[in-house]
Structure 1
Amino acid sequence: MDSLSPISPTFLSDDDHDAFLGFVEYARSSLSSSSAANGDDNGGDGDPPPWSWVVSRILKTCVAYSSGVTAAILLSDLFQAWNEQRKYLTSKKKLELVNQLKTRRARMRLPNTVTIDSIYEKHFLSPSSVLEAVIVDTFLLAGTNIYILSLGDLWSSCAIDLYLHRRFYEYVGKEGILRKGRQILLTGCCLRTAVQGSGHPRLLPTEYLVILLDEDKDEDAMLLGAQFCTYSFSSISADNIKHGASFSFYARIESIETLEPFGCTQRKQIILVDNEDVKIKFLLWGEQVLLANLFSVGSMLALDRPFVANVVNKNHEASQELCLEYGSATQIYLVPVIQHEEQVLLTSTQMKSQGLRLSGISNENQGLKASQVSLQCDSRGSIDFSKYPFRSYAMDLNDKMTGISIYGTIMDISREKNTSEAVFCLAIEDITGVIVVKLHFIGFWSLGRVGIGHTVYISGLTCSMTLQKMLEVSWFEKEPGTYFVNLSCLPALLNSSCLHKLSLLSDISNWINNTHICCVHLDKIEHNNIQALPCHNRCGCFVKERSDGSVWCSFCQCNCETGRTYSFLLHITLADESGKVLAWCVGPTAAELLQISPDEFLMLPEDERAMYLYTLQNEEFMVAIVKGKKRGDEFLLLSQEHFPEWEITRAQKCE
């Protein structure tokens, strides 16, 4: 079909001269055209998908298929994923009761949310999946005392039955809150698939069920007032706990954090703030961490009969600090945070980018340029840019922005000093300027080798102002929405002709802030330009032995007695029909060019090493090459005065 045709030169970015970005715009315009053409079926108005969504999806496919992808593979994956994501907007058939529940106020759709229709289609349900459901009916299974809830959702055309967990039996019946029309959240569900002659698929019981409340409804407001306004966190005392008092609290979720495992047990910590601005920790243990899938920052949590305990620290010792836990008698109600929207004006850079994109689209319905878009914001005024339709640039970043994605070239990288935490500063440049991103890691650097001159994509950035009125851009490892890819070291980039444009060596100096893909042969390899040195596995940097015998990684600023191996540092001359370039490389890239491992090379006698290198001359390779430089004290072991300015970040032998 037409939408799967090869990339059109129209969508090659004039500003970036980057074929990858060109394909991103080509894919977005193809999806936009498809949505407009099938608007009646999908409810689409021809709006393109968010720029960051397309980039992340393409890169995740490339990571999954290191041998390379085609335009057809990428577009097929994008079309399928985009259509599935939009399905819930326009389901033609709706359950009548569910239709009546639609309100004018929008609340955020939780991550991992699945639809009932998708459960039937895939015959599968992950325990971490979330169901945002409404009770269509409640009944007893014939001949038993087992309660069944018939559930629908806002996006599906059918219902599914759930065996209700017995801890919720007191909430069903004529006076119970779990009755027809009530909205609930579920996770930790397992699917009992139907076998021949045994009826329809059903959901097995789960104790991770949260009841949604609406403060604007009299019944729910009365429940909250009567049951949850008596106690505040300051009411908890040792005497109350000793005499077995039960508490009910109403508080706002301030943050949701993953803690270090307690032995082999997973833990999550929810920070709650009551109406007196008193904070307390609500801890989830083991399988209970699934409950955190149902919570969102800013929502109000009504917590009935939580278990009160002492906080247990990483040394397995109980402190004097009190916390709440999810006990056998605990019941949770939730008043979801209402998502407000704010109009965001496009910057001049984005207006220009949008104009260039639309100039290549013939469909006149898409010829109108937007000057502003509506984005969701939280109660603190922070605006979520994860669904921003256009690319964000360095100069666009400002205070109270979350979910930002940036694509650019690394100009500097270092570990932040005067802190025990693993925080690294990454300077990223695009066509508008440079931003410095603080990367916060849970324990240690975990992104592999990242060097100056490399092209990276990073999502999940948060912007805030410091006390000194300086903009601070942060990234927190493993937080929802965070993603980091080093395109310069991505194997699939070399093998995917739709994502790169072959460059001649004579041309690469004209566009230095790009990752260039070149087809070259090895012109000259000098034996004295090869070194095999110990390097740190986590970051790919060379290490040195200190006077006290310890082995030190200057990049990670840590000892690494273990977790190190030998790696090549290679200077090599590359050539094609247009000229020659002296370049350097390390690690797997150097081993790929030399077609031998460091250990094997070191085992060869001196004369055999020279003979082996001679046999490699004129071997052809596809390489990714960037304008880089030595990174601070990464190469303190090296004393070459004329270190090459070009780095080979990836190489693959041409068959």
Structure 2
Amino acid sequence: MDPAAASADGGSFLEFVDYAISMLSSSGGDGDGSGSPGAGPAPAQPPWGWAVAQVLKSCCAYSSGVTAAILLSDLFQSWTEQRKSLTAKRKVELTNLLKTSNRRRRLPNTITIDSIHEKNFLSPKSVLEAVVINVFAIPGTHIYMLTLGDMWSTSTIDLYLHRRYYKYIEQHGVLKKGREVMLTGCCLRTAMEGSGHARILPTEYMVMLLDEDEDEDALLLAAKFCTYYFSSMLLEENRNNISYSFYARIEKIESLEPFQCTERKQIVLVDNYDARIKFVLWGEQVLLANLFSVGSMLALDSPFIANFVHNSHEESQELCLEYGSATQVYLVPIAQQEEQVGVNILVMRLSALLLLTKMEKIVCQVYVSDIHDKMVGVSLFGTVTSVCKASASGTNFYLEIEDTTGVILMKLKFLGAWLDTIKCFLTGAVI
């Protein structure tokens, strides 16, 4: 080997070690999940010799080649595990984050994080019911990971997040610490590889759990999932150009006849107007049905709209929903020992909450006596003195609003789920 080339390779190796140490040092150990320090003092940065040994260990584990991102991932995991110590404080925190879990049924295929570590194995058909302990990016990369814990385990595990969920961290902020999730279709990167610590590889089949009693979740449901309903999609000719979001109850989960040897399942959904539609899963997607239970509420964002296929020789004109590349699923699980809440009541409650939130943002009151022609953006407060229909269809209404300065007639047109809110506008109500 050319001495000069060997020297250059050695220089690159040492430069990477120094870079990795600086990245691990900058990531810190904030005690926010995976980086909690133990009872004793921990060094602010990894020792140089330790970092060299870990890099060499990872290089040996990947005989076919390794990237800088993989090396950084292994180093970060090893350094985190070395500093981490599961304490009573951590267990109390995890229990508090999972305080709602006791209210719902544990799914049949659910396994624990402790059993994953014990067996060093994870079946794709297994279900993991967990809470997000931490969300972080691997230092020096744009790769997101979640640290997950569950109610029944004393240990945690890291998950490489699939890129279809990145926007729920970066744009929507829904996927964060404390969020309960359920996932299936998982594969394990075993402890015999890389850093020596088991991690879960990316899966497309993860649902985020929402709680209607939490204002933030209720507002998300009201703002995003109470606009469209199944009949509006059926009547819309340009339906493929619209990004629909539906909120419906799971009525039935059943298997379908295979299509050209491809396994299929359907979830029958019922919306606010008792309209039904099939949510069809194909092939590997059927694993997603392991996360659902009859009676739970499904919030379905951007489903793919298709014609239902009965068998290999027949495609009907009946529309169905499918799990497309842009589809995201939220779940409101059915609670134990509680009366099942109907869709109508849920939609009315969510719609009222959204209206209340909009009213809180109003800062300037306009009186009836101040209103004149061609005004826009008017914020009017008053008492409803009468309500009557303005159209035979029952979607247009006249409301007579009175305040201290006079009376004015208001015409309102309600579409979709908002039609239910008219029931709240009774004579004498203040709006």
Give the 5 Å matches for 1:172-183.
Answer: 172-173=169-170, 176-183=173-180
**Cross-structure match for 1:145:** 142
Paired with 1:174 and 1:283, the residues of 2 have a C-alpha distance of 28
Any idea what the Cα deviations from partners look like across 1:387-418, whole Å, max 9, x if unmatched? xxxxxxxxxxxxxxxxxxxxxxxxxxxxxxxx
Paired with 1:237 and 1:152, the residues of 2 have a C-alpha distance of 42
Q: Identify the match of residue 257 of structure 2 among 236, 256, 260.
A: 260
Whether the 8 Å contact between 1:97 and 1:136 is mirrored in structure 2 is: no
Matched, 1:169 2:160: no
Q: Which runs of 4+ in 1 moved over 6 A?
A: 377-380
**Cross-structure match for 2:298:** 301
Matched, 1:97 2:93: yes
Q: CA deviation at 1:188?
A: 0.3
In the alignment of these two chains, the number of paired residues is 255
Paired with 1:331 and 1:240, the residues of 2 have a C-alpha distance of 23
Q: CA deviation at 1:198?
A: 1.7
Paired with 2:93 and 2:313, the residues of 1 have a C-alpha distance of 50
Paired with 1:197 and 1:269, the residues of 2 have a C-alpha distance of 39
Whether the 8 Å contact between 1:148 and 1:162 is mirrored in structure 2 is: yes
Q: Identify the match of residue 222 of structure 1 among 214, 219, 224.
A: 219
- Percent identical residues: 66
Matched, 1:132 2:129: yes
Give the 5 Å matches for 1:235-274.
Answer: 235-237=232-234, 239-241=236-238, 244-274=241-271
Q: CA deviation at 1:264?
A: 1.0
Over alpha carbons, which structure has the higher Rg? 1
Q: Identify the match of residue 283 of structure 1 among 280, 289, 293.
A: 280
Give the 5 Å matches for 1:414-453.
Answer: none
Paired with 1:246 and 1:260, the residues of 2 have a C-alpha distance of 29
Paired with 1:142 and 1:305, the residues of 2 have a C-alpha distance of 32
Give the 5 Å matches for 1:55-74.
Answer: none
Paired with 1:196 and 1:103, the residues of 2 have a C-alpha distance of 35
* Structure 2 counterpart SS, 1:98: helix
Any idea what the Cα deviations from partners look like across 1:555-604, whole Å, max 9, x if unmatched? xxxxxxxxxxxxxxxxxxxxxxxxxxxxxxxxxxxxxxxxxxxxxxxxxx
CA distance 1:240–1:170, shift in 2 (3 Å): farther
Any idea what the Cα deviations from partners look like across 1:271-327, whole Å, max 9, x if unmatched? 000011111000000000000000000000000000111100114321011100000
Q: CA deviation at 1:93?
A: 9.3
* Structure 1 counterpart SS, 2:329: strand
Q: CA deviation at 1:173?
A: 4.0
CA distance 1:331–1:175, shift in 2 (3 Å): closer
* Structure 2 counterpart SS, 1:337: coil
CA distance 1:138–1:223, shift in 2 (3 Å): same
CA distance 1:194–1:104, shift in 2 (3 Å): closer
Q: CA deviation at 1:144?
A: 1.1
Give the 5 Å matches for 1:483-498.
Answer: none
Paired with 1:241 and 1:295, the residues of 2 have a C-alpha distance of 30
| AA of the residue aligned to 2:95 | N
**Cross-structure match for 1:337:** 334
Name structure 1 gaps, 5 residues minimum: 1-91, 342-376, 381-655
| AA of the residue aligned to 2:190 | T
| AA of the residue aligned to 1:294 | L
Paired with 2:111 and 2:269, the residues of 1 have a C-alpha distance of 27
Whether the 8 Å contact between 1:171 and 1:178 is mirrored in structure 2 is: yes
| AA of the residue aligned to 2:94 | V
Q: Identify the match of residue 310 of structure 1 among 283, 307, 311.
A: 307
Any idea what the Cα deviations from partners look like across 1:128-185, whole Å, max 9, x if unmatched? 0000010000111122110000000111101100000000000114851111000000
Q: CA deviation at 1:199?
A: 3.5
CA distance 1:156–1:243, shift in 2 (3 Å): closer
Please give the root-mean-square deviation of Cα atoms over the aligned residues, in Å: 2.2
Any idea what the Cα deviations from partners look like across 1:67-90, whole Å, max 9, x if unmatched? xxxxxxxxxxxxxxxxxxxxxxxx
Whether the 8 Å contact between 2:120 and 2:191 is mirrored in structure 1 is: no
* Structure having the larger proportion of residues in helix: 2
| AA of the residue aligned to 2:289 | A
Matched, 1:200 2:197: yes
**Cross-structure match for 1:292:** 289
Whether the 8 Å contact between 1:94 and 1:155 is mirrored in structure 2 is: no
Matched, 1:319 2:316: yes
Deviates further, 311-320 or 259-268 = 311-320
CA distance 1:148–1:245, shift in 2 (3 Å): same
Any idea what the Cα deviations from partners look like across 1:589-638, whole Å, max 9, x if unmatched? xxxxxxxxxxxxxxxxxxxxxxxxxxxxxxxxxxxxxxxxxxxxxxxxxx
* Structure 2 counterpart SS, 1:95: helix
Paired with 1:305 and 1:104, the residues of 2 have a C-alpha distance of 28
CA distance 1:147–1:197, shift in 2 (3 Å): closer
**Cross-structure match for 2:413:** none
| AA of the residue aligned to 1:191 | L
Paired with 1:313 and 1:173, the residues of 2 have a C-alpha distance of 40
Whether the 8 Å contact between 1:173 and 1:179 is mirrored in structure 2 is: no
Whether the 8 Å contact between 1:127 and 1:187 is mirrored in structure 2 is: yes
CA distance 1:196–1:166, shift in 2 (3 Å): closer
Paired with 1:96 and 1:106, the residues of 2 have a C-alpha distance of 18
CA distance 1:174–1:152, shift in 2 (3 Å): farther
Whether the 8 Å contact between 1:307 and 1:325 is mirrored in structure 2 is: yes
Paired with 1:319 and 1:175, the residues of 2 have a C-alpha distance of 37
Matched, 1:186 2:208: no
Q: TM-score, normalised by structure 2?
A: 0.56
Whether the 8 Å contact between 1:94 and 1:157 is mirrored in structure 2 is: no
Paired with 1:240 and 1:246, the residues of 2 have a C-alpha distance of 13
CA distance 1:145–1:278, shift in 2 (3 Å): same
